[in-house]
Each structure stands twice: as structure tokens, then as C-alpha cells.
């Protein structure tokens, strides 16, 4: 009955063809050149010099803070000459960042399973429009000169849409996504490796086949995917997920290795691509889960998965390679900020803005409503973006950010 209600609430917006989703968003923004409506921007902002504008980063939640941390600590070049080689000064030292976590609509990875990829694409385009524009729920924000899609699922389903929209709007905004960067990082950092590659991601990212396609362009290694429906939400501290991160990983990795064993012998899994921005926060727990099953003994004393997991697992974190990709793009466009005395970074989080009947006991959108929505209402306001402070994070998430992402934590503290 609740699902029927949610479908009735959105019945005014029929299913759209793939190109219609993009066309409607493009038309909506064009109809509001002054940025005076939700999901719009001021066209005039992008006719002036852009170098002093901040860099926008967005994710389906707070997992993308791992990408922001990678940007903040990236030091692979001499800041004076641009030559390869760390100089002890972060490469983005002079840049300001604006971060958006679309937590009210997460996890993005589950929209594909619900048959709502068209709505997911619309969400991703709206995220980009928020960063391009000046509006938020409690005031104004500056526009951005570059956008980093920190979410793997959003990159898989929305990168090309956003690039097409920027071209249609004639906006010279740099666009970088984590999937392409992660694939190139695998090729550059894991030369000589012979084992299989396991891409750990959300179900939606796996369904998109984005990583196998991207990796296939740069490497001949065999790629397997392990999709989790709940790990990202558990890391985020979602109270609707009752199992612990450790238990979810044990179960997911066990299922993954059983499937691999059923196929037959093969090279061991040697490289793990952390294909969800949340996963670097629990990298140690991921290694522990693989080690658990590698050492697992069956009742007959055998170790059925020992040959499937290499003794030493290599990690590829697409976040670090995304930072390098952004650096190269900014340098090519001659768009680095000219000074470092900028305002503090800005952080935003989406929260529900609907009737209480559509909220669950945890204060978030019910699953029936969240995954029952249809595309076609670009200016919808069932969620709003509000300033994010460290105090708004669940305690478990705050602990992870504080311990694992110190530069980002410092920026969040500055927003008190």
C-alpha cells in the first residue's frame, strides 16, 4: 500500500526515454538563466574569469570525503614549475572546495535494482546544477570552475550526461569522474601484476559495467566485480542497516569467493579496486574479510579459498588518481587559483523536505518513496541542501573521518 501511495505521488511524471532526462534538465536550466529556481545557475557567472572560483565535489553521501581528502593531500608536482615530483606543498594548496553529499537520496547504487536509473541520472544532474549555481537552503554559495564526481555510481550513470549538459549550456567547467581515473590508476600503478582484479562497489556500479569497460581499455587482466547492497550505508551510519561493517564484509566476500570457486581454478585475486568512495574508510576491514576466507577451513580440513586470494592484496584507490586527473586538467586550462588566502571550504548535505508520513523512523525518506519516484520533475524539492558541520555526522562516521581524513576533518571543524 505504501508503494502504491508513492507511485501515485509521482504519477504526473511518466517514465522518460534516456535522452529525455538530459533534454529536460538542459531545458530547465536554460529557462532560468538567472539561477532563480531550484536546479539552475546564473549563466553570467561563467562568462567571466573562473580561476578564483572553488572546485566542486559531490557524492551520494559522505563517502566522497575520501576523494576530498585525496585532493587536499595530493603532492605529486612542484607547485612552482609543475614538474613531476613532490615538493612538500599540496598541489591544490591554493584552492577552495565546495562539497555536496546527497545523503537524503543515498545509496545511489540501489536505484538500478529498483528500475529507476532515469531518476538516478536526474539526481546526478541536479547535484551538478547545485554546484554550478548559487542557491542553497539557507543562503548563497559561489559557483564552481570544476566538478569532481566523487561517487563511482554517479560517475557510471551521469558523467557523460553532465559533460553533454555543460556543452549544451556552453560552460567551460572542468569535469572529472572517479571511474576513468581509477582505471588509469590501475594501469599505471599495478604494472607487472598477473592476478585477477576484484572491483568492490555498490550493486548499481557493478550493474553499469563501468569499471570492466574502463579497465578493459587500459589492461588485459581479468576483472571480477563484487557488489554490496548495504556496505556503503553501514559505513555511513545508516540506522536502517542492522548488520555491522565487519559482518557485511564477511558475508559479501564469502559469497563472492564461493562464486569464483564454483567457476573453477584461476589466478588469485591480487588487486582490489575500491570502487566506492566509502570503502577506503574501511580498507583494513576489507583486507581482514579476504584474509578470513583465505584461511577458512572446511569441516574436512581443506582450505577451499586459499588459492583464490593472494597473500598480499594490492589496493587501487580511485580517489588518488582522480586528484591527479584534476591537476592535469586545471594545468592544461591554466585555471589554478592565483592566491591561497581564500574563504574556508563549504560543505553541504541533503536532507528530506517532505511530509512526515513519507519519513521513516530514522528521519530519512522511506524506501518506498525514495525508490518509487519517477524522473521528469527537475525542480522538485523533496530534499534540500543545508550546510554540513562535523556535529551532524553520526558518531561512527565522525570517528572514521576524524581518524582517516584529518585534513577534511580540520576543514569541517572550521565550519562551526
Q: Are 401 and 408 in contact (CB under 8 A)?
A: yes
| CA separation for the pair 51, 145 (Å, rounded) | 7
Active-site annotation, residues: 151, 276
Residues paired with 146 in a beta bridge: 55, 174
SS (H, E, C) 102-144: CHHHCCHHHCCCCCCHHHHHHHHHHHHHHHHCCEECCEECCCC
Using alpha carbons, select from 410, 199, 225, 394 the residue that is nearest to residue 315: 199
In angstroms, the CA 315 to CA 238 distance is 26
Contact between residue 132 and residue 170 where contact means Cβ atoms under 8 Å apart: no
Q: pLDDT value at position 302?
A: 95
- In this prediction, residue 264 carries a pLDDT of 87
In tens digits, the chain (416 residues) has pLDDT values of: 223 222 223 333 344 555 899 999 999 999 999 999 999 999 999 999 999 999 999 999 888 999 999 999 999 999 989 999 999 999 999 999 999 999 999 888 888 888 999 999 999 999 999 999 998 877 789 999 999 999 988 999 999 999 999 999 999 999 999 998 999 889 887 677 789 999 999 888 898 899 999 999 988 899 999 999 899 889 878 888 889 999 999 999 999 999 999 998 889 999 999 998 889 889 999 999 999 999 999 999 999 999 999 999 999 989 989 999 999 999 999 999 987 777 899 999 999 999 988 998 888 999 999 999 999 889 888 999 999 998 888 888 888 899 989 999 999 988 65
pLDDT the model gives residue 105: 94
Task: Please give the domain boundaries of the chain with CATH numbers for all domains.
Answer: 2-177+320-413 (3.40.50.1860), 181-318 (3.40.50.1860)
> Given this model, what pLDDT does residue 267 score?
93
Residue with cell 572514521: 400
Q: Using CA atoms, how far apart are residues 42 and 155, in angstroms rounded to an integer?
A: 25
In this prediction, residue 363 carries a pLDDT of 87
CA–CA gap between residue 345 and residue 208 (Å, rounded):
32
Q: Which of 55, 92, 128, 58 is nearest to 277 (CA)?
A: 58
SS (H, E, C) the chain: CHHHHHHHHCCCCCCCCHHHHHHHHHHHHHCCCECCCCCCCEHHHHCCCCCCCCEEEEECCCCCHHHHHHHHHCCCECCCCCCECCCCCCCCCCCCEEEEECHHHCCHHHCCCCCCHHHHHHHHHHHHHHHHCCEECCEECCCCCEEEECCHHHHHHHHHHHHHHHHHHCCCCEEEEHHHHHHHHHHHHCCCCCCEEEEEEEHHHHHHCHHHHHHHCCCCCCEEEEEECCHHHHHHCCCCCCCCHHHHHHHHHHHHHHHHHHHCCCCCEEEEEECCCCHHHHHHHHHHHHHHHHCCCCCCCCCCCHHHEEEEEEEECHHHHHHHHHHHHHHHCCCCCCCCCCCCCEEEEEEECCCHHHECCCCCECHHHHHHCCCCCCCCCCEEEEECCHHHCCHHHHHHHHHHCHHHHHHHHCCC
Amino acid at each position: 500500500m505504501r508503494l502504491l501511495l508513492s507511485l501515485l505521488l509521482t504519477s504526473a511524471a511518466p517514465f522518460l526515454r534516456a535522452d529525455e532526462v538530459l533534454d529536460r534538465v538542459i531545458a530547465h536550466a536554460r529557462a532560468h538563466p538567472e539561477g532563480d529556481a531550484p536546479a539552475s545557475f546564473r549563466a553570467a557567472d561563467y562568462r567571466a574569469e573562473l580561476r578564483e572560483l572553488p572546485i566542486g565535489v559531490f557524492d551520494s553521501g559522505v563517502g566522497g570525503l575520501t576523494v576530498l581528502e585525496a585532493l587536499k593531500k595530493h603532492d605529486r608536482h612542484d607547485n612552482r614549475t609543475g614538474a613531476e615530483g613532490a615538493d612538500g606543498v599540496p598541489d591544490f594548496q591554493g584552492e577552495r572546495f565546495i562539497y555536496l553529499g546527497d545523503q537524503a537520496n543515498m545509496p545511489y547504487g540501489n536505484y538500478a535494482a529498483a528500475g529507476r536509473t532515469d531518476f538516478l541520472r536526474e539526481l546526478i544532474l541536479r547535484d551538478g546544477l547545485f554546484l554550478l549555481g548559487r542557491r542553497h537552503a539557507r543562503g548563497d554559495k559561489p559557483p564552481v570552475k570544476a566538478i569532481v564526481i566523487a561517487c563511482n555510481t554517479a560517475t557510471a550513470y551521469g558523467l557523460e550526461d553532465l559533460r553533454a549538459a555543460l556543452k549544451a549550456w556552453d560552460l567551460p567547467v572542468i569535469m572529472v569522474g572517479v571511474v576513468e581515473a581509477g582505471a588509469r590508476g590501475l594501469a599505471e600503478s599495478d604494472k607487472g601484476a598477473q592476478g585477477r582484479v576484484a572491483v568492490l562497489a555498490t550493486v548499481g556500479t557493478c550493474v553499469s559495467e563501468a569499471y570492466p569497460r574502463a579497465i578493459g581499455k587500459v589492461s588485459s587482466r581479468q576483472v571480477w566485480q563484487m557488489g554490496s547492497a548495504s556496505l556503503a550505508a553501514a559505513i555511513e551510519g545508516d540506522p536502517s542497516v542492522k548488520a555491522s561493517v565487519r559482518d557485511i564484509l564477511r558475508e559479501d566476500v564469502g559469497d563472492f569467493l564461493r562464486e569464483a570457486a564454483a567457476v573453477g581454478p584461476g589466478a588469485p585475486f591480487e588487486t582490489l579496486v575500491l570502487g566506492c568512495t566509502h570503502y577506503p574508510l574501511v580498507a583494513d576491514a576489507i583486507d581482514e574479510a579476504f584474509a578470513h576466507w583465505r584461511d577458512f577451513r572446511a569441516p574436512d580440513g581443506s582450505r577451499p579459498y586459499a588459492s583464490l586470494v593472494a597473500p598480499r592484496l594490492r589496493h587501487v584507490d580511485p580517489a588518488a588518481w582522480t586528484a591527479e586527473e584534476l591537476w592535469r586538467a586545471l594545468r592544461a586550462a591554466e585555471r589554478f587559483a592565483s592566491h591561497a588566502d581564500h574563504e574556508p571550504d563549504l560543505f553541504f548535505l541533503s536532507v528530506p523536505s517532505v511530509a512526515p508520513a513519507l519519513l521513516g523512523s530514522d528521519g530519512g525518506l522511506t524506501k518506498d518513496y525514495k525508490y518509487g519516484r519517477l524522473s521528469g520533475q527537475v525542480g522538485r524539492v523533496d530534499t534540500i541542501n543545508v550546510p554540513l558541520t562535523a556535529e551532524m555526522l553520526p558518531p561512527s562516521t565522525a570517528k572514521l573521518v576524524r581518524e582517516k581524513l584529518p585534513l577534511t576533518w580540520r576543514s569541517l571543524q572550521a565550519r562551526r
